[in-house]
Amino acid sequence: MAMPGQLMFARRLGPTARLLIWLLVGVSCVVADVRYHALEGLRSGFSLLLQPARAAMRAPTDIAAELGGFFVRHRLLQKERDTLLIERAQLMVSVNAAQELARENTELRTLLQLQSRPGQQVVHAALLYQGHDWFAQRITLDQGGNAELRSGLPVVDASGLMGQVSRVYPGSSEVTLVSSPQQLTPVMVERTGQRGLAAGSGQGQMELRYMPAQTDIRAGDRLLTSGIDRVYPAGIPVARVSRVSRSQSSPYLRVESLPLAGLDRSRAVLVLIAEPQVATP
């Protein structure tokens, strides 16, 4: 027989019991996060923990890129410089025109006694980390609350709208890309001015929803932000229509489009800070 005080059985719970306990904890985590958004503090904690690691782990690839750039051939650089010079000359012309227009615009606005639009303030940010895109497409930037980012701000790259800041941590921030499912972007068709709602459909694509069957839209049309949402400034390129198809069962067109921004390529982006104002009529 067992001596008093001696354990006959293991003191630990069996694996099944422990599994059930942890499952319970896990399910309550999911509920707390989805329903009550109660775990944002934990997210901030993880971001503080991982941000230096991510910055450090980015170094090897940066160094590789630097070394690769060092050995670029002289000829190639010269060619690139020539194209850049030409591009610069062309841009100077458009800048002059834009300055002229801006001056005229302010004059007309004072004439009409309208408020002038606030200048756009931008924050440069670099891609810090990209997670798996199984359920939502998000990237992490290396700028956060320190650079006065807040959630809801639009993020653009050189060729178009990337997405919207969705979570802000002290030194980093998460951006939900325009191609992410459930992410809606109010757009207008550049050619006709028709307004619509573009939704991400995952896998790097977007679709234009609720376009009546007789809408004038065809493949190749560009979609710009319409600016009626007070989130995105008007006129940022969003996507290019890739396919328009009619279905028998639905009164709407099925319009597929591809985002113009390099969602999976861009490493440097801009966050637009100033609040876009509603254009006064």
Partner 1 sequence: MNVATETGNWRRILGSLTLAVLLEQLPWSGWALALRPDFVLVGVLFWTLHQPARISFGAAFFLGLLADFQDGAVFGQHAIAYVIGVYLVLFLRLRLLQFDPFRQAAQLFPILLTVQLVVLLVGWLAVNPPAGLAMLLPVLSSTALWYLIALFVRLWHGKGMQDRA
DSSP 8-state class, residue 145:
G
Distance in Å, CB of 264 to partner 1, minimum:
6
Rank residues 21 and 77 by Cβ distance to partner 1 and give the closer one. Answer: 21
Rank residues 30 and 91 by Cβ distance to partner 1 and give the closer one. Answer: 30
- Cα separation, 265 vs 249, in Å, equals 37
Indicate the residue type of 81. Answer: R
| 25 is an interface residue for partner 1 by CB under 8 A | yes
Report the candidate in 198, 162, 154, 204 with the shortest Cα–Cα distance to residue 179: 204
Residues 6+ apart with CB under 8 A from 97: none
DSSP 8-state class, residue 147:
G
| 64 is an interface residue for partner 1 by CB under 8 A | no
| 152 is an interface residue for partner 1 by CB under 8 A | no
Indicate the residue type of 103. Answer: R
* Residue appearing with tokens 């328009």: 244
Distance in Å, CB of 111 to partner 1, minimum:
49
Indicate the residue type of 213. Answer: A
| 68 is an interface residue for partner 1 by CB under 8 A | no
Rank residues 46 and 212 by Cβ distance to partner 1 and give the closer one. Answer: 46
Residues near partner 1 (CB under 8 A): 15-16, 18-19, 22-23, 25-30, 32-34, 39, 42-43, 46-47, 50, 53-54, 56-58, 60-61, 127-138, 140, 167, 174, 181-182, 202-203, 264
